[in-house]
Amino acid sequence: MTEPIIDRLLNALLDKYESSKSFIGVNKVRQRFLIRIGDLFPEYLDHANYETFQSVNDGIDLLVRKKLVLAKIEKANVCKEIQLNPESIEEAYRLLGRTAKRHVHETISSILTRYQDSNAILHRYVLAQLDRLAQNKPVQYFNNDFTEFEQLLKAIDELGKVQNETFYRDFSMQVFRDSKVFDRISGKVANLLYEYGEFAEKDQVLAELNLVKNPTYVHIKGAAKLIMNSEKIDLSALHGDIAFSSTMLDDIDCVEVTGREVMTVENLTNFHLVSCESRLIVYLGGFHNTVRRHLIKKIHQQNPDVAFYHFGDIDAGGFQILQHLRRQTGINFIPYKMDLGTLQKYQDSAKSLTENDRGRLFKLRGQGFDEVIDYMLMRNLKLEQEAVRET
């Protein structure tokens, strides 16, 4: 029983040392690292539990003889506390077979710096983590697995280079030569990208970067004529919408808008409800990636005098998607029914804001939505697009 006790005592002392200011070299006075035996082994103080008492004392005695700790022994051979011998810290690591935290930090730092200049998101992430290391704080998204950590950073580096819509398995094979690796780390990848990037919705981050699990589709309907592989399609003659897989979008050679405007719609339900008699309506499948934006830009280039609108949720995500559309396409999309009047009209169907909502809304102030955002913050509400029925 002595060996597990020795491990527990030494690990507790090293944990104290590794979480101290002395560990990062900023403490101005010499620190002592000690633990109270009764805190670590409450049963040690139970006089009826002689076996534990003797085993703990035997472990402490061995550590004292090896000069790894200093012990404070009171009457009846009771040890009140032990202190780590600062001159024997390396020996303590060796006895435990424990990797020193500074070696872990050195390895993490080496991995981080290799990816520091890969792209803007990794640059922000790496600088933040190097700062956390300097303060002896845990590195975000590192779970003591160096292999997985490097895979995470490599995936984010390679994601920035994906130009065409790509399946998870294909991406994983290209990057890791293993079709299953990316699926295992995709959640962490999306979380890191969302935290350090500029994305409207966490569950759409990978899709926006052209990575999908299954083929995706763009739904369109309304007042327009298409030419696709020399075939003409009059959308206004159809009783409903038509969906094109992302692989087919490049086959659309020409889009002639015969109505007054083009409208992108955030929600599929509203896409089906919105009137298309004088509009070309486009449902982007949740979020727009490179392939979808290429279609939007093609429509704009071929119909430069047509107005472009976006119909989305009256919430932080909806405003961010609108801003992202404007930024990524260079088209001045006009918000449709995303104003204060619409919010007030349907506020009986509104939902309460979360703390995350409030933080994101505050960041959006000054970008043209202040009137509605101030009302949302004051009244603690947001409105999903499905609640708006006059379309």
Q: What is the pLDDT of residue 1?
A: 43
Based on the fold, state whether residues 23 and 168 are members of the same structural domain.
no
Side-chain-side CA neighbours of residue 63 (13 Å)? 34
Based on the fold, state whether residues 54 and 106 are members of the same structural domain.
no
**In the structure encoding, which two tokens stand for residue 306, read together?**
């047509």
174: left (phi over 0), alpha (psi -120 to 50) or beta: alpha
Q: How far is CA 221 from CA 217, 247, 280, in A?
A: 13, 19, 6
Q: Smallest Cα–Cα separation from 14: which of 105, 109, 82, 108?
A: 82
CA–CA separation, 187 vs 181, rounded Å? Answer: 12
Based on the fold, state whether residues 196 and 222 are members of the same structural domain.
no
Based on the fold, state whether residues 79 and 163 are members of the same structural domain.
no
What φ, ψ does residue 224 adopt, rounded to 5°?
-165, 160
Residue 65 CA, chain-centre distance (Å), reads 50
70: left (phi over 0), alpha (psi -120 to 50) or beta: beta
Q: What residues does 2 pair with on adjacent strands?
A: none
Domain of 201, in residue numbers? 101-211
Q: Smallest Cα–Cα separation from 311: which of 273, 358, 345?
A: 273
Side-chain-side CA neighbours of residue 171 (13 Å)? 30
Based on the fold, state whether residues 72 and 106 are members of the same structural domain.
no
**In the structure encoding, which two tokens stand for residue 159, read together?**
């994601």
Based on the fold, state whether residues 184 and 263 are members of the same structural domain.
no
Span 271-300, pLDDT tens digits: 988 888 899 999 976 556 777 788 899 999
Q: Smallest Cα–Cα separation from 371: which of 324, 314, 307, 333?
A: 314
Based on the fold, state whether residues 242 and 106 are members of the same structural domain.
no
Check: CB of residue 110 under 8 Å from CB of residue 186.
no
Residue 370 amino acid letter: D
DSSP 197: S
**Kind and range of the H or E run holding 111:** helix 101-114
Based on the fold, state whether residues 145 and 12 are members of the same structural domain.
no
CA–CA separation, 320 vs 325, rounded Å? Answer: 8
Most distant CA atoms of the chain, gap in Å: 98
Q: What is the pLDDT of residue 178?
A: 95
Residue 232 amino acid letter: K
Check: CB of residue 189 under 8 Å from CB of residue 149.
no
Q: What is the pLDDT of residue 287?
A: 58
Check: CB of residue 156 under 8 Å from CB of residue 119.
yes
Three-state secondary structure call for residue 167: strand
Q: Smallest Cα–Cα separation from 104: which of 135, 142, 151?
A: 142
Based on the fold, state whether residues 368 and 222 are members of the same structural domain.
yes
**In the structure encoding, which two tokens stand for residue 330, read together?**
């260079």
Q: Smallest Cα–Cα separation from 282: which of 10, 140, 293, 290?
A: 293
Based on the fold, state whether residues 219 and 359 are members of the same structural domain.
yes
Based on the fold, state whether residues 14 and 147 are members of the same structural domain.
no
Tell me, what CATH number does 24's domain have?
A: 1.10.10
CA–CA separation, 239 vs 390, rounded Å? Answer: 20
Q: Which residues of the chain have pLDDT under 70?
A: 1-2, 25-29, 285-288, 390-391
Domain boundary among 96, 129, 152: 96
Tell me, what CATH number does 223's domain have?
A: 3.40.1360.10
Three-state secondary structure call for residue 306: coil
Q: What is the pLDDT of residue 26?
A: 56
Based on the fold, state whether residues 37 and 182 are members of the same structural domain.
no
Query: Domain tally for the chain?
Result: 3
Looking at the chain, which runs of residues are DSSP E strands? 34-36, 69-73, 79-84, 166-167, 211-212, 217-222, 224-228, 231-234, 242-245, 252-257, 261-265, 279-283, 307-311, 334-335
CA–CA separation, 343 vs 120, rounded Å? Answer: 36
What count of other Cβ atoms lies within 10 Å of the Cβ of residue 321?
A: 26
Domain boundary among 185, 211, 237: 211
Three-state secondary structure call for residue 375: helix
Domain boundary among 211, 233, 257: 211
